[in-house]
Structures are given as structure tokens and as C-alpha cells.
Amino acid sequence: MVWVHAVSLGEVQGVTPLLEKLHERDSDCMIFLTVTTKTAWDYMQQYLKTGIFLDSRKFKMEILPLDFPWAIKRFCKDLKPSVIALMETEIWPNLIRSSKMNKTKVILVNGRLSPGSFRAYKMGKKFFHRILNEIDIVVAQSDKDSERFKELGYEKTVSVFSNLKFDVRPRKHHLVNGGKLRNRLAKKTVWLALSTREGEEKEISTLWKQRMCSEKDEVLIIVPRHPERFYKVLREVEITGCIADTKTNFLRKESIYTKECPSILIGDTIGEVQMYLAASDIVLIGGSVIRKGGQNPLEACIQKKIIFFGNYMFNFENISNDLIKEKGAVLVETYSEWFSEGQKILNDENRCNILRDNAFNFIARRGGSSEKYADIILND
């Protein structure tokens, strides 16, 4: 049995190439996935419907309890995995200790330490050093992450593989559904503000209202990062005077919109980022114009979208810095600049094509880490 632990939605989406590669390499291998958040659980329920793991004898998923000694001990009591692979920054002390007591090899996969996590761990370096060195293998997703693990006192060699998320590919049904949404909107240009944080939607929709005075044949999709905010965001957008609707309600209506076609659509579904991207032309990464750390832009790259983000992509600093260097994305400081610069690019077909190709090539050149991780997990 191989146990894979991925807490949140982003980590679960990133680990799916590894799950598929493990199954491809050894179809008899039992894969046990644990998650923590509801959004991660819901996403995987939809993912399992694609048919990759229809045989329940080969795949099992459960929610891992919080890292209390008694809870972890009880949870792990009857599990006998040969390996546990922890995703990114999931360094759970009691889970690691329990795994070592059960003679389970512990591997940190796609290891990442954001500047904030690094500072926090440094404050408790003495404690963290001890836990960190109970991990058998650490594989970082960048040289900078590798250096941070070493600075925190990891005594073994830290390997570096490309980010597992470079291996993520859009699901066919998301592409199909994105195309259907695009056709239903019947607009020339679709703008997408992806994974927005509180306060961003009001400013973006206010600017959009001004834009609609001159640009009629466009629609803006706003996808809030947190599901509990979907309907609050809808109300905030409506207050600005924009005609707005949720994606779910919009598609539920039988007739094609004419005069009442919404100028803003709120993405109110979980795990459908690829679908919203498939429906759009130009993307702003939410939480990057304000100091929230941004969001992973790789799904936009693989779909050859025109990508914008702000100066605060520190949760994805290596990817965003390299993407800018390779001219696969555009850096802006304000939402207004996104609209103005975005329009200039949309008016220049040659520049559009260059940006799209650069974004796609950026991710295409860096794939393959799922194969390497499968080697470590199955053969080590």
C-alpha cells in the first residue's frame, strides 16, 4: 500500500498525475489517499467519476483527523503502508512519528516552503529540525525550496524535481463544458478573474461597470477562491450596478439570454477551474494584486491563455518569476492596468499568439516529475 496525504484542493489537484502514474506503473498497488478539507474531498469525488480508479480494491480515500497524538495513533492502527508520501508542506509531527514507529518510509513530495512558512519554521527550528530529519526522503520543487530545507537543518540530500503540477492536464469533460459555457455566453471576449479574495471583486466589478459603457460584446467571469463567499460576492457585484448571475443559475435557465445577458458571471462551483479557463480568453490571477500570495498559474498555461498577475505571487514565486522571464505572462500593478493592457494585447493578434505559445511552452518543457516520483515510491 502507498499512502498519499494531500490536505487542500490545490494539493489534491497537483497530486493526481502521481496517482495516475502509480496506477499505470503498478495496477496491483493499493493507493490510499487522505485529505483534510471539504473542497479537496468534493473534488476527488468528481475526479473518481472519470473512471481511473473504478476498482475500489485499488483505491481508497478518507479524511485524516487533525494531528493530535491519540487521533493519529487510532487512525494509523490498522494501516500497513510501505510508503507515505506527504504533499508539499504537510509536515505533520505526529503523523510522521507514527509512520516511523510502523516502519513506514516517509517521503516529502513536491516539497515547498513559502517565505511565510520558512519564517514560521525558523522560529521553532530546534523542534522542526528533529521532525524534519525523521523524513526519509525530501524532494523539493525548486532550488530555492531545497536551500530552505537545508537551512532548517535537514541533514540528508535534498533532491529537486520539477513541480508535480507541471504534469497536470485538463480533463476532457472540463474542456467540453467550458466550450458549452462559452457558446452559451455568446460573447466575443471572455475575461476571467480567477481565485479572487475578499475586496477584489468589488473593485474589479466597479471598473467593469465603467468598461461596459464602451465595450458591450464582453463578459467577465469572477471565481472567488473560497466557496462560502460565492453568494456574498454576487450581492456585492449587483450593488455596483452590473447585471450578474451565478454560473449554476445561468446554465439552469432554458433560453439563451438576449438583453438580460449578464455582464458578470460568478463561478460558484468547486474544482472546475479548468472549465472556467476553457471558457475564457484572458486571465487575472486573484490574490496577486493585493498581498495574498496569488494562485498557481499553470492550469492557465496549459490551456494557452493570456495570463496576468500582480506583484504578490509569493506563494508561487519560482513559477511566476520564471514565467515572466520567459514572457509567458504579463505583470500589472492594478486591476485597471489589467483591463487597459489586456485590451491592447487583445487588439494585437501577433502578441496574443506569442504570449499563448510562451505560456504553453513554459509548462511543456518542465513536465515528467510524476514518473520520477513513481520510481522513488515503487522501487526504493
Tell me the pLDDT of the chain (380 aa) as tens digits.
999 999 988 899 899 999 999 999 988 889 999 999 998 999 898 888 777 776 667 899 999 999 999 999 899 888 889 999 999 988 899 999 999 999 999 999 999 998 888 988 888 888 888 999 999 999 999 999 999 999 999 999 999 999 999 999 998 999 999 999 999 988 889 999 999 999 999 999 999 999 887 677 899 999 999 999 999 999 999 999 999 999 999 988 765 544 467 999 999 998 899 999 999 999 999 999 999 999 999 999 999 999 999 999 998 988 999 999 999 999 999 999 999 999 999 999 999 999 999 999 999 999 899 999 999 999 86
Cα separation, 271 vs 10, whole angstroms: 9
Domains of the chain, start order: 2-168+367-379 (3.40.50.11720), 172-364 (3.40.50.2000)
Specify whether the CB–CB gap between 328 and 358 falls below 8 A: yes
Cα separation, 140 vs 150, whole angstroms: 11
| CA-based radius of gyration for the chain | 22
With a threshold of 0.85, does the pTM exceed it?
A: yes
Location of C-alpha cell 505533520: 92
Residue 175: phi and psi, rounded to 5, are: -65, -45
Cα separation, 264 vs 209, whole angstroms: 9
DSSP string, 329-355: SEE-SSHHHHHHHHHHHHT-HHHHHHH
The amino acid present at 282, given as its one-letter code, is I
Specify whether the CB–CB gap between 194 and 309 falls below 8 A: no
